Structure 1
Amino acid sequence: MFYDLGVRDFLDRAETVYPDRVAVVDEPGQPAPSWGSVTYRELARRARAQAANLDALGVPVGGRVAIVSHNSARLLTSFFGVSGWGRVLVPVNFRLAPAEVRYIVEHSGAEVVILDPDLKALRDIVSAKHVFVLGEDDEKVWGGDGEPRPWAGDESATATLNYTSGTTARPKGVQLTHRNLWLNAVTFGLHTTLSDNDVLLHTLPMFHANGWGMPYALTGLGGKHIVLRKVDGTEILRRIEEHGVTIMCAAPAVVTAALDGAAKWDGEIPGRDRVRIVVAGAPPPTRTIERVRAELGWEFIQIYGLTETAPLLTVNRFRSEWAELDPHEQAKLLGRAGTPALGVRLAIDTDGEVLAQSNTNLDGYWDNPEETARVQEGGWFHTGDGGRFDEGYLTIADRKKDVIITGGENVSSIEVEDALSSHPAVREAAVIGIPDEKWGELVTALVVSEDATVTAEQLITHCRDYLAGYKCPKRVEFLTELPRTATGKIQKFKLRAPYWTDQDRQVH
């Protein structure tokens, strides 16, 4: 017999097995009144009410509902209240400019838009038929005890429409089906050994690839969600201590914030030998991985994937075979993207691009058949990342467009960034290629440092201890901060722009 997989399966199980257990502890300090502690029984009731209210508004199965919100219990509920009864949730990056939000709402055809109170001014620019504000309009969205119209379920139906961060051109709407999300959540839970004893601190924006699937996976297992509205290193440690947090998902910038918070923390670091932190977005420097394990005492897990793959493709977790190695070597091994997750097949094409086959790959890009065909050519998803696959492990060499070709040699910016970041004066580093008449492209480092005495020559000399001469930066510039997307990825196109504006081509 065949039964469709659906995201509501996770909430249904939690309500059945753990109805009186606390499901979520909402952010206490937010502009909308906090929901406080909500049980799974109550979370399910509010999700049903949301679906019933969408029925009353006339939003059909397949209709799009956009929500522009910081992390909140209301957003968590919407993953089920919208998609669970056949509509399509469109979680929008709350850091986007108004024009970008307007584009996403219009492009997706959202009939309903739900706004964070800090973003209520967007009411005047979005074109949706119904616009609500968290807190002010709760009764219209989550109020009442109505029962929604039954939905038979369809695992091939689009459950969420997630817009990519748009580092180039217009953002694309990634269609993820119920099957995509269900399998990603279950596989993610398996590889991170989730259980009903886990407490998740939402250090990752829920809008980003649906919190990587943790809102589904942890709910299905009856774990506890702790909402964090704003990332702050000290506050992360305080919440870990207060709520007994056991797991977090984060971009590298969050890891740095936690390490900074630990440097000012009075007493033993909360979560030592208990917390596991799952990191993605960019390969962290080896030194950072060492510090997480030594200074915080947390388990470091690295994953790799894209919004288009729901996102899990690979996972890298400590193996017993590495137990006799020294911590530095262990950290280097953990710095790889990892092994294919269960059900994932990987390949490297002749150009060095990473290709993936998985049941979590996107159904397509919304209203963009040409781009859908391009990234799915040959039955593989084309990631746009360059890498190598050795002995069962994937290593990301670079975004293909970020490979620096200097003097005819390929240089991985990640490798140079890793060497720079091992210098104690370097807080963050990004490496790009800039046009050079002699070498083609010059390896250039943009560095953030809190040590005003460190010099460019000192950093270049430091890199020579780790890298071949042609890989070392030939130029170092100091910045106060690096531009990032909402999910922590450095926006290298912004760093390159001043150097390439007068060039006919973006390679040299």
Structure 2
Amino acid sequence: MKHRFEEGLERREANYVPLTPIDFIVRAAEVYGDQLAVVHGEIRRNWRETYQRTRRLASALRQAGIERGDTVAALLPNIPPMIEAHFGVPMAGAVLNTLNTRLDVPSLLFMLRHGEAKALIVDTEYGELAHRAALEFPDLRIISVADVLPANADQFIRATDYEAFLQSGDPEFAWTLPADEWDAIALNYTSGTTGDPKGVVYHHRGAYLNALSNILEWDMPKHAVYLWTLPLFHCNGWCFPWTVAARAGVNVCLRKFDAKTVFDLIRSERITHYCGAPIVQSALANAPAEWREGIGHRVSTMVAGAAPAPAVIAKMKEIGFELTHVYGLTETYGPAAVCAKQHAWDQLDDSGRAEMNARQGVRYHLQAAVSVVDPDTLEPVPNDGETIGEIMFRGNICMKGYLKNERATEATFRGGWFHTGDLGVRMPDGYIRIRDRSKDIIISGGENISSIEVEDTLYRHPAVAVAAVVAMPDAKWGEVPCAFVELKEGAQVSVEEIIAHCRLFLAGYKLPKAVRFCELPKTSTGKIQKFELRARIKAETAE
């Protein structure tokens, strides 16, 4: 039975509109149409022009037979068409699947097949995938972007040029809002740390709320100038294509990270914000001082993953870069927790501040909760900085679930929480901190590497009897795989041969960076004791 605050007070067209980040570009074009929106080399477009191009894309996709709920994949660097796809694809009612440009072709083909992509927008740099995809998926619509390299007819069979495709679309296309804010807006694949990659499905509501949370965590002003150092394929650029539109800011595109180019752009375009993994921050902090000459304004930067070394944090402050440490996963739209700074930390020395800033922190504004929980009882661990539990999230900034994988979805949402698989502690002030990672995931340069995948590859070598892979500290990448190999009796093989063997099956960033031949420590049941291997590495590092 309805109570008095429900009777006659139903949801109506006048008082309820589904939340969607597409609306951000509409307002930017309406209110700040003449403001600069996109910079890429000689290209400079305002928000009115950018909105028209996204409507053309949506219109052209619909004319090409793309319907509501269809998947449109994009394999692109950080260039304007990738930003346009974040609006044009969902305007067509479709779901955007941004593909990791660093993956091998078999992995990408798996994603196209699993996601049932109906169209692929692909840069000419990735011609091999376009060619293989055209052969394997005869009905796949291929749209080629010749940003730097001209299209190769042999590699781009059945392809339509992106600019010609846009011209076939209507710049006044009357796109419609999603029927429900729970509708899917994006599909992002995990790095496949436990077998095949899982397809993480985002909804319009979560993308909208995380985009706004980014503004709140950064106190991001109108017309911020954002440099795309973070790959747009990674969690939809942490939702920043939509964030920048909400602030009518400037998207400064960067096809490939280069420290000197970054400083040149910060100077010439007066960049105010950028995001990056620890490796990006280290490269900028350790760059020659002359590259920074002429930069006098404050630059805000977000870093995720393992916290940079205290020396890097101190150096960033010295050069005028204000660093914010965030934490999240693909399943939480990128960052959903932040190490919110406290005024009391200003009284600490550099080492003390770095220690506080290195933590994963507290929930994002528009995320309901983040906690460290006993994975068996689902009770929060005490705030003692010692008791280890699993870091878990709850709220609107959590994925819909895994595509075509109900079992994994149910498991990861068990007990009303999203289970990250990361192990951490709660500090006395309530901030969380990662202590270890479950499933032996190695995070190298912001990319997840499965130790199991590398081990399986090692076992395919005829000389290998037993293999184990653990993380090894690396000054550049944060962590890299280190392989411990026990050879079969009488077998002989070199480190170079082992790595060459792995190169046949693995993407470059997954290759072991060190190989140790030895008898591996095992339990009485034959299980490899990885903690002993980690202890060896730690002892070597300390020497």
Report if TM-score (shorter chain) is over 0.5.
yes
Give the aligned length: 429
8 Å CA contact 1:167–1:493 kept in 2: the answer is no
SS of structure 1 residue aligned to 2:261: helix
Question: What is the deviation of 1:349?
Answer: 2.3
Question: What is the deviation of 1:367?
Answer: 0.8
Q: 2:307: which partner in 1?
A: 283
The AA in structure 2 aligned to 1:394 is I
Mean alpha-carbon deviation: is it higher for 162-171 or for 67-76?
162-171
Q: Per the alignment, do residues 445 and 216 of structure 1 end up closer, same or farther by CA in structure 2, a change over 3 Å counting?
A: closer
Write out per-residue CA displacement over residues 52-73 of structure 1, whole angstroms, 9 at most, x where no aligned residue.
Answer: 1111111111111001011100
Q: 1:372: which partner in 2?
A: 409
Q: Per the alignment, do residues 498 and 119 of structure 1 end up closer, same or farther by CA in structure 2, a change over 3 Å counting?
A: farther
Matches within 5 A, 1:112-261: 112-126=119-133, 127=137, 128-135=139-146, 137-144=161-168, 146=170, 147-148=172-173, 150-153=175-178, 154-261=180-287
Write out per-residue CA displacement over residues 348-389 of structure 1, whole angstroms, 9 at most, x where no aligned residue.
Answer: 222511111020100011111111111111110000101112
Write out per-residue CA displacement over residues 218-254 of structure 1, whole angstroms, 9 at most, x where no aligned residue.
Answer: 1111111100111111111111001000100100111
Q: 1:393: which partner in 2?
A: 431
Q: 1:9: which partner in 2?
A: 23
Q: Per the alignment, do residues 140 and 330 of structure 1 end up closer, same or farther by CA in structure 2, a change over 3 Å counting?
A: same
Q: Per the alignment, do residues 43 and 331 of structure 1 end up closer, same or farther by CA in structure 2, a change over 3 Å counting?
A: same
Measure, in 2, the Cα distance between the counterparts of 1:168 and 1:13. 42
The AA in structure 2 aligned to 1:306 is L
Question: What is the deviation of 1:193?
Answer: 1.0
Q: Per the alignment, do residues 55 and 446 of structure 1 end up closer, same or farther by CA in structure 2, a change over 3 Å counting?
A: closer
Q: Per the alignment, do residues 499 and 448 of structure 1 end up closer, same or farther by CA in structure 2, a change over 3 Å counting?
A: farther
8 Å CA contact 1:167–1:491 kept in 2: the answer is no
8 Å CA contact 1:336–1:394 kept in 2: the answer is yes
Q: Does residue 60 of structure 2 align to residue 53 of structure 1? A: yes
Q: Does residue 296 of structure 2 align to residue 311 of structure 1? A: no
Q: Identity of counterpart residues, as a percentage? A: 31
Question: What is the deviation of 1:166?
Answer: 2.4
The AA in structure 2 aligned to 1:151 is T
Q: 1:362: which partner in 2?
A: 399
Measure, in 2, the Cα distance between the counterparts of 1:219 and 1:500. 56
The AA in structure 1 aligned to 2:173 is P
TM-score of the aligned structures, taking structure 1 as reference length: 0.78
8 Å CA contact 1:120–1:133 kept in 2: the answer is no
Question: What is the deviation of 1:401?
Answer: 3.7
Q: 1:383: which partner in 2?
A: 420
Matches within 5 A, 1:354-503: 354-390=391-427, 391-402=429-440, 445-447=472-474
SS of structure 1 residue aligned to 2:410: helix
Q: Per the alignment, do residues 25 and 335 of structure 1 end up closer, same or farther by CA in structure 2, a change over 3 Å counting?
A: same
Q: 1:349: which partner in 2?
A: 373
Please report the RMSD computed on the Cα atoms of aligned residues, expressed in angstroms: 3.0
Q: Per the alignment, do residues 502 and 215 of structure 1 end up closer, same or farther by CA in structure 2, a change over 3 Å counting?
A: same
TM-score of the aligned structures, taking structure 2 as reference length: 0.73
Q: 1:426: which partner in 2?
A: none
Measure, in 1, the Cα distance between the counterparts of 2:126 and 2:254. 18
Question: What is the deviation of 1:338?
Answer: 1.5
Write out per-residue CA displacement over residues 64-123 of structure 1, whole angstroms, 9 at most, x where no aligned residue.
Answer: 100101110010000000013311000001111111111111110000011111012322
8 Å CA contact 2:263–2:292 kept in 1: the answer is no
SS of structure 2 residue aligned to 1:20: coil
8 Å CA contact 2:71–2:94 kept in 1: the answer is yes
Write out per-residue CA displacement over residues 422-469 of structure 1, whole angstroms, 9 at most, x where no aligned residue.
Answer: xxxxxxxx9x9xxxxxxxx999855559xxxxxxxxxxxxxxxxxxxx
User: Which of 345, 350, 367 is matched with 1:327 structurally?
Assistant: 350
Question: What is the deviation of 1:398?
Answer: 1.8
* Structure 1 gap segments, 5+ residues each: 29-33, 404-412, 418-429, 433-440, 450-479, 484-488
Question: What is the deviation of 1:402?
Answer: 4.4
8 Å CA contact 2:74–2:98 kept in 1: the answer is yes
Q: 1:109: which partner in 2?
A: 116
Measure, in 2, the Cα distance between the counterparts of 1:347 and 1:273. 36
Q: Per the alignment, do residues 13 and 367 of structure 1 end up closer, same or farther by CA in structure 2, a change over 3 Å counting?
A: same
Question: What is the deviation of 1:267?
Answer: 5.9
The AA in structure 2 aligned to 1:393 is Y
Measure, in 2, the Cα distance between the counterparts of 1:190 and 1:448. 32
The AA in structure 2 aligned to 1:217 is T
Q: Does residue 57 of structure 2 align to residue 41 of structure 1? A: no
* Structure 2 gap segments, 5+ residues each: 1-14, 152-160, 376-388, 452-467, 477-498, 503-507, 531-543
SS of structure 2 residue aligned to 1:111: strand
Mean alpha-carbon deviation: is it higher for 120-129 or for 87-96?
120-129
SS of structure 2 residue aligned to 1:125: helix
8 Å CA contact 1:175–1:363 kept in 2: the answer is yes
8 Å CA contact 1:314–1:341 kept in 2: the answer is yes
Mean alpha-carbon deviation: is it higher for 369-378 or for 114-123?
114-123
Measure, in 1, the Cα distance between the counterparts of 2:235 and 2:469. 35
8 Å CA contact 1:161–1:173 kept in 2: the answer is yes
SS of structure 2 residue aligned to 1:299: strand
The AA in structure 2 aligned to 1:62 is G
Q: 1:476: which partner in 2?
A: none
Measure, in 1, the Cα distance between the counterparts of 2:276 and 2:282. 10
Measure, in 1, the Cα distance between the counterparts of 2:103 and 2:470. 31
8 Å CA contact 2:34–2:46 kept in 1: the answer is yes
